[in-house]
Amino acid sequence: MENKHQAECGCDHCGSSGSRRDFLKSAALLTGGLSLMGTTVAGAVSSPADPVKAIGKSQAIAAGKATRFTILYTADIHAQILTHDEFFLENGKPVYKKRGGLAVLKTMIHTLKAENPENTIILDAGDCFQGGGVAALSQGRAIVPLMNNIGYDLILPGNWEVVYGKEMMQRDLGAYQAAKICANMFHDTKDEFKGELIFQPYWTKVIGGVKIGFIGYNDPLTPKRQSPAYSYGITFTKPELNVAKYIRLLRDYEKCSMVFLVTHMGLAQQVDLANKPYVEGADYILGADTHERVRKPIEGKYSKVTEPGAFGSFVSRLDFVVEDGIVKDQHYALLDVDPDRYKPDTEMESLVKEAREPYRVELDTVIGRTKNTLVRYYVIENPMDNMITDALMWKLKPDVALSNGFRFCPPLVPDPKKGYAEITNDYLWSMLPVDSNARQAEVTGKQIWNWMEKELHNVFASDPAKRFGGWVIRFKGMEVKFTVHKELGERVNNIRIQGKPIDLEKSYTVVACEREGDPEEVLCRIEGVSGAHNVNSTLHEIMREYLAKFSPVAPKVEGRITATDVPNNLLSQLEGYDYEFI
């Protein structure tokens, strides 16, 4: 492990060394004929016109002059171990299909690997053992054997891997049979590990006749995005502090023909990274965090960016043809984890059943019903968090109830015959994977206005590096109108609280969830509040009470917050690129 201060050396940040520049110039000449073939439709791996099939039938491969290597990668599984409803957008309208489940995922990955068994790498880009009931109740432990059974080769910790604390994160990740990489998480402790990397920064593999390298990066904003207590004992640094050094190390000294950055930073930040000169020499940024479904690699100035959706619903596949140590061709596709296409693996089904068994009765208990689909994919407002804030408002009767802009939790679609869907404790854990205390404080109108400006900036900042990975904060009791394409301090047009224009001098009662490790005078990132205190209820307790009283509920998008310049069904923060979330 290297010392943190060594990792932050800045001499190569812009790749100015002559040897590196010359190396990259010669590498560009060798690979100048590379072409990126068109992306297939998700799930269409058996189409006769599939470029992967064409690659496999190439004469060079048949003659033994060339080989093909494959990368299969997932991210943001969020402990969704069972097949679930998944959201798609078709002809501009939401469509829901069954996708995912680790038993289906295993069959799919092993089927794809069987096409190229000796030359396939399987990796996950983080946020795996948080986001579901089994994970929460076992602090991630029960998820690890399931991932090991799939046979991953490489793992990156995501921002939610810290949720159970540093010690538990290290134990859970240490139990993985796969290699772990992360070049920007350091020990911040008073022992012999202080200043050292927690995980190895990179991993190399000779495959398909070439040596390739992977460098890992978690989101440096993790301690601000989440409860600070989760990250105690960990220091996060920005990729710019050492990524050029590691790319040079892999290219110049390890003699890697290709370099991949595996990142858990969110699509906007990853595309921004792809345009920075210090990532020159990285072929791909294999991204994660915002659950985006990249169906065609996004072209940055120095690297291409992908992201494989979430909840185990998709697998990203990359294929490369190598001849005489030179990459001659490449192809990328995002593929559905479709239970109608891939039969669930029986061994994994048994392991999932075993993992659920200690908690099965509790998790399968029905706590309510919904007549409307619960979905969380929309950036600005969604039915799921409207239901959560409805419950907080009913129970605690504040002026404003808040729910964080979380992205996790797959949809829940009513059965058309019954007219409703059952909400279980397991699904409650997916909506709210941490059963936080509800917390209340007095906040002035001016504080609310300034905080709203900061929250919108976290989502829509023109500088992607200043964006958080979550979405717009959700609320009840407040109406907000804003403009996306303005700057910090100018986005909010007006705010109404309890139907009246906000009074900047008035004090309002606000309820949100407790963020462990925040100062006493901070509530949901609102600074300088007064009278902050935990109420005698957790979010799960409030939700169970609310659903018991009001089921079947029918939450919907109501226009609690609206933008003047983007639609309320916005599904991605990324602008200015050939990308659409579908």
Selected from 3.40.1190.20, 3.50.50.60, 3.40.50.300, 3.60.21.10, the CATH number assigned to the domain covering 4-348 reads 3.60.21.10
What pLDDT sits at residue 16? 37
Using the structure block, give the residue that is written with the tokens 């020159």.
Answer: 280
Classify 367 as helix, strand or coil. strand
What pLDDT sits at residue 406? 85
User: pLDDT digits over 248-258, tens only?
Assistant: 999 999 999 99
- Residue from 305, 336, 331, 306 nearest 319 by CA: 331
Q: How confident is the model at residue 38 (pLDDT cuts 50, 70, 90)?
A: very low
Cα–Cα distance, 242 to 76 (Å, whole number): 25
- Residue from 139, 143, 165, 166 nearest 155 by CA: 143
Cα–Cα distance, 410 to 98 (Å, whole number): 11
User: For the residues 352-361, what does the mean pLDDT come to?
Assistant: 98
- Residue from 285, 332, 291 nearest 159 by CA: 291
| Contact indicator for 237, 524 with CB cutoff of 8 Å | no
Look at strands 366-370 and 421-424 and give their pairing. Answer: antiparallel
Start-end ranges of CATH 3.90.780.10 in the chain? 367-563
User: For the residues 222-229, what does the mean pLDDT come to?
Assistant: 92
pLDDT, the chain, mean: 90
Q: How confident is the model at residue 51 (pLDDT cuts 50, 70, 90)?
A: confident
- Alpha helices (runs of H) in 382-516, residue ranges in sequence order: 383-396, 425-431, 445-460
Cα–Cα distance, 286 to 126 (Å, whole number): 11
Read off the pTM.
0.90
CA 312 to chain centre: 11
Cα–Cα distance, 548 to 551 (Å, whole number): 6
Cα–Cα distance, 248 to 254 (Å, whole number): 9
Q: Which residues lie across from 37 on neighbouring strands?
A: 331
SS3 readout for 99-126 = ECCHHHHHHHHHHHHHCCHHHEEEEECC
- Residue from 240, 223, 241, 224 nearest 232 by CA: 223
Q: Give me the amino acid identity at 217.
A: Y
User: For the residues 86-107, what does the mean pLDDT come to?
Assistant: 97
Give the burial class of 117: count Cβ atoms within 10 A of its Cβ; 0-12 exposed, 13-18 middle, 19 or more buried: exposed
> How many of the other CB atoms lie within 10 Å of CB of 209?
16
On the question of pLDDT at 429 being above 80, the answer is yes
Start-end ranges of CATH 3.60.21.10 in the chain? 4-348
What fold characterizes domain 367-563?
5'-nucleotidase;  domain 2 (3.90.780)
User: pLDDT digits over 285-326, tens only?
Assistant: 999 999 999 999 999 999 999 999 999 999 999 999 988 877
- Residue from 399, 397, 490 nearest 443 by CA: 399
- Alpha helices (runs of H) in 267-328, residue ranges in sequence order: 267-274
Classify 574 as helix, strand or coil. coil
Using the structure block, give the residue that is written with the tokens 């991993």.
Answer: 203
SS3 readout for 319-340 = EEEEECCEEEEEEEEEEECCCC
Residue 457 token pair: 């900036």
Question: Which position has the higher pLDDT, 501 or 46?
Answer: 501
What pLDDT sits at residue 62? 73
User: pLDDT digits over 233-285, tens only?
Assistant: 999 999 999 999 999 999 999 999 999 999 999 999 999 999 999 999 999 99
SS3 readout for 390-405 = HHHHHHHCCCEEEECC
Cα–Cα distance, 399 to 422 (Å, whole number): 30
Q: How confident is the model at residue 39 (pLDDT cuts 50, 70, 90)?
A: very low
What pLDDT sits at residue 61? 76
User: For the residues 507-524, what does the mean pLDDT come to?
Assistant: 94
Please name the helix (run of DSSP H) or strand (run of DSSP E) that holds residue 349, with its range, or none. helix 346-356
- Residue from 64, 104, 52, 54 nearest 81 by CA: 104
On the question of pLDDT at 35 being above 60, the answer is no
Go through 27-42 and write b for each residue having 16 or more CB atoms within 10 A of its CB, e for each that does not: beeeeeeeeebebbeb
